[in-house]
Amino acid sequence: MSATLSQNMLLAVPLAPLFGAIVAGLFGKQVGRRGAHTVTILGVLVSFIISVMTLKSVALDGARFNQTIYEWMVLGGLKMEIGFLVDGLSAMMMVVVTFVSLMVHIYTIGYMEEDPGYQRFFSYISLFTFSMLMLVMSNNMLQLFFGWEAVGLVSYLLIGFWYTKPTAIFANMKAFLVNRVGDFGFILGIGLLVAYGGSLNYTETFAKAGELSQIKFNMPLWGSDWMMLTVACICLFIGAMGKSAQFPLHVWLPDSMEGPTPISALIHAATMVTAGIFMVARFSPLFELSDTALNFVLVIGSITALFMGFMGIIQNDIKRVVAYSTLSQLGYMTVALGVSAYSVAVFHLMTHAFFKALLFLGAGSVIIGMHHDQDIRNMGGLRKYMPITWITSLLGSLALIGTPFFSGFYSKDSIILAVEASKLPGAGFAMFAVVAGVFVTAFYSFRMYFLVFHGKENFRHKPFPGEHDHHDDHHDDHSHTPHESPWVVTAPLVLLAIPSVAIGFVAIQPMLFGDFFKDAIHVNHEAHGAMGALREMFHGATAMALHGLQTLPFWLALAGVVTAYVFYMVAPSIPATLAKVLRPLVVVLENKYFMDWINENILARLARGLGLAAWKVGDQGVIDGVLINGSARGIGGIAGLVRRVQTGHLYWYALVMILGVIGLMTWKLWPYIWPQFKALAGF
């Protein structure tokens, strides 16, 4: 253990938010609103400060921590433990999670000001922070799975926070069920690694990676044997597909916007949905040994990056535009994982966490200013009414589309360059997807930006709908003039805007080409040379940004911005005409590629039919009918026969005894009697 990373300090990182969650949740009435937000914010602040100190020790002093904190039980030789692994990867995640969570906690004071579930909300988001920290700090697969399921549970609670809204209840149940599909694959992957590796501990399992890669499964239907690691890694990634909303397990995330805006920023932009990306990066020593698994990751990420971006073009709900943007950017991160550029994926995870949290909280600020109207068609011209929200949202949008010198540029362009250098079979399609996605991202981002902050003030011509979310009767301000949000809302916007602009410039050298991830991420550079190619092309952050001004992605992004401006500011008749001409395509997008229809009318009915068959035939027919009730009826029949001979009369018992003695004697003497009988009968 390094002297600079003490066990007690690391324990305080997850336990401080847990303490706040318990106080706000169980004693909310006693401590009141002020007490609830004070104790939870202080808890997350303590976590953030210790996380920053930890990151400093890891980055500057080379400090590391990998120890068991508590041994829960031992089954055979399998140890089930709680332990922490702190290296560059987990230290960076700790800071991202705690910083974004702290901003969301402060922001929530303003956004949920008049909500009756104020204390409960603070308890939930603090509990979520604890769960996510347990996930990223774990040094074993058992604790990883605990954190994985805990963030899913709290996400379920937060999406359905307004439990009187039918749409919110439907959304949280959808999220829960879709994630169960992914988590089934996830636990199968963990089970395979534990069964063949004999340990839940990361370090011990990764040390056996070479041995595990020699184990083959006989797969006659595929015509060849499969590596056990290939199957395990694909199963693990199916878990990531659910948690990180990759196609086709992405369907839950857009509907999760039914929850309050702060959780959209905390869970569905910056932390929970990145858990799958973090997990694949953590398991890089295993994924590196299977090109099949990497190709699977690459293709799924490419589909998500491009086709979820298309969905953002037609959305009119401000939060759903940002939600589909999140799906697309998660696809970019997954593409980076697929080409073995794990550090680039995690780098984009970090930069995206800041600017996407900024965009979600900016959208929430707009919703407050618009008296909870979320339709961007009812906005316009908000720039002069909400200057802080406007400038921070602009900075976030510029970062999102990959403008040179902004943080998103460094991470997104690195992904494109890594894909270009990859030799995997799926890299060609991935290259098309990520480059085309640049134009799409710029178009839908600035479509939203222009419709909200510029152009005609449409809110002057339409009455506000009151409370679009949950709290219909809580606002006394019936003025139709938008207004800037209070400081507890705008301060987090400003604080998030700073890393959205600058963190990429500062961090690209140590995170991608330095020693920051040296013992956390493992790449077989001979087989997968994307990072080596990137290193050869990199000549400093400034040179990269200046060169970026001459590349195709920059001009595609610029074309997307210009197109959005022309379509929605100069000639709004063009998109209306295009929508009519391309009506079949619009119908496909409006129906979300019919994924919901397929899930609800085919897969759900098939699953329900299988469940019904299992219930009727298996449960009622075999288990109840044959094994349980059948055995009971058999015993009852035998008892009925026995009851007929149990008459209670002594003469009957005497007769049975005599007959029994005669029968026994006949059986014993039969070998002697039968030959005599045959002789007498002449047989």
d(CA 645, CA 89): 79
In three state form, how does the secondary structure of 423-470 look? CCCCHHHHHHHHHHHHHHHHHHHHHHHHHHHCCCCHHHCCCCCCCCCC
Name the most confidently modeled range: 2-6, 369-373, 442-446, 513-517: 442-446
Count other Cβ atoms within 10 Å, centred on residue 461: 10
The model's pLDDT over 102-159, given as tens digits with 9 standing for 90+, comes to: 988 988 888 888 888 888 989 999 999 999 999 999 999 999 999 999 988 888 888 8
User: Which one-letter amino acid corresponds to residue 108?
Assistant: T
d(CA 554, CA 371): 36
The model's pLDDT over 617-627, given as tens digits with 9 standing for 90+, comes to: 888 888 877 77
- Reading phi first (left if > 0) and then psi (alpha if -120 to 50, else beta), residue 531 is in alpha
d(CA 408, CA 534): 17
d(CA 174, CA 544): 43
The model's pLDDT over 437-446, given as tens digits with 9 standing for 90+, comes to: 999 999 999 9
pLDDT the model gives residue 473: 39
Which pTM was predicted? 0.85
Confidence of residue 269 (pLDDT cuts 50, 70, 90): low
Question: In the predicted model, is pLDDT for residue 577 greater than 50?
Answer: yes
d(CA 107, CA 130): 19
Q: 665, exposed or middle or buried, with CB in 10 Å at 0-12, 13-18, 19+?
A: exposed
**Exposed e or buried b per residue across 165-188, where buried means at least 16 C-beta atoms within 10 angstroms of its C-beta:** eeebeebbebbbebbebbbebbbb
DSSP per-residue codes, 526-563? TT--HHHHHHHH---HHHHHHHHTTSHHHHHHHHHHHH
Please check whether residue 223 is in contact with residue 189, taking contact to mean a CB–CB distance below 8 angstroms. Answer: no
Q: Calculate what percentage of the chain has a pLDDT beyond 70.
A: 95
Question: In the predicted model, is pLDDT for residue 604 greater than 90?
Answer: no
The model's pLDDT over 673-683, given as tens digits with 9 standing for 90+, comes to: 777 777 777 66
Please check whether residue 340 is in contact with residue 523, taking contact to mean a CB–CB distance below 8 angstroms. Answer: yes
What distances in angstroms separate CA 1 from CA 27, 68, 87, 137, 199, one per listed residue? 37, 11, 12, 15, 21
Q: 559, exposed or middle or buried, with CB in 10 Å at 0-12, 13-18, 19+?
A: middle
pLDDT the model gives residue 335: 94
Residues 6+ apart with CB under 8 A from 360: 261, 264, 265, 268, 269, 319, 322
Query: Which alpha helices (DSSP H) does 198-290 contain, by range?
Result: 202-207, 209-212, 228-243, 252-255, 261-265, 275-282, 284-287
The model's pLDDT over 459-497, given as tens digits with 9 standing for 90+, comes to: 764 544 444 444 443 444 444 678 888 888 888 899 999
Residues 6+ apart with CB under 8 A from 423: 528, 529
pLDDT the model gives residue 476: 41
**DSSP conformational letter for 620:** I
pLDDT the model gives residue 539: 86
Confidence of residue 416 (pLDDT cuts 50, 70, 90): very high
**DSSP conformational letter for 271:** S
Average pLDDT taken over every residue of the chain: 86
What distances in angstroms separate CA 348 from CA 72, 395, 418, one per listed residue? 36, 17, 13
CA angle (333 as vertex; 328, 334 as ends), nearest 5: 90
The model's pLDDT over 491-538, given as tens digits with 9 standing for 90+, comes to: 889 999 999 998 999 988 888 888 888 888 888 877 788 888 888 888
Phi/psi at 402 (5° precision): 80, 40
d(CA 606, CA 598): 11
pLDDT the model gives residue 16: 93
Phi/psi at 346 (5° precision): -70, -35
DSSP per-residue codes, 107-170? HHHHHTTT-TTHHHHHHHHHHHHHHHHHHHHBSBHHHHHHHHHHHHHHHHHHHTSSTT-HHHHH
Q: Which helix (H) or strand (E) holds 7?
A: helix 7-26
pLDDT the model gives residue 220: 64
CA angle (488 as vertex; 483, 491 as ends), nearest 5: 90
Q: What is the distance of C-alpha 232 from the center of its chain?
A: 19
Confidence of residue 59 (pLDDT cuts 50, 70, 90): confident
Q: Taking residues 367-385, report their average pLDDT.
A: 84
Confidence of residue 218 (pLDDT cuts 50, 70, 90): confident
Phi/psi at 682 (5° precision): 80, 25
Count other Cβ atoms within 10 Å, centred on residue 659: 10
77: helix, coil or strand? coil
Please check whether residue 176 is in contact with residue 121, taking contact to mean a CB–CB distance below 8 angstroms. Answer: no
pLDDT the model gives residue 286: 92
Q: Which helix (H) or strand (E) holds 640?
A: helix 629-645
Q: Taking residues 4-30, report their average pLDDT.
A: 88
Count other Cβ atoms within 10 Å, centred on residue 226: 16
Strand partners for 201: 140
Confidence of residue 223 (pLDDT cuts 50, 70, 90): low
**Exposed e or buried b per residue across 227-259, where buried means at least 16 C-beta atoms within 10 angstroms of its C-beta:** bbbbbbbbbbbbbbbbbbbbbbbbbbbbbbbbb
User: Which one-letter amino acid corresponds to residue 260?
Assistant: P
Domain locations in the chain as residue ranges: 587-645, 650-682
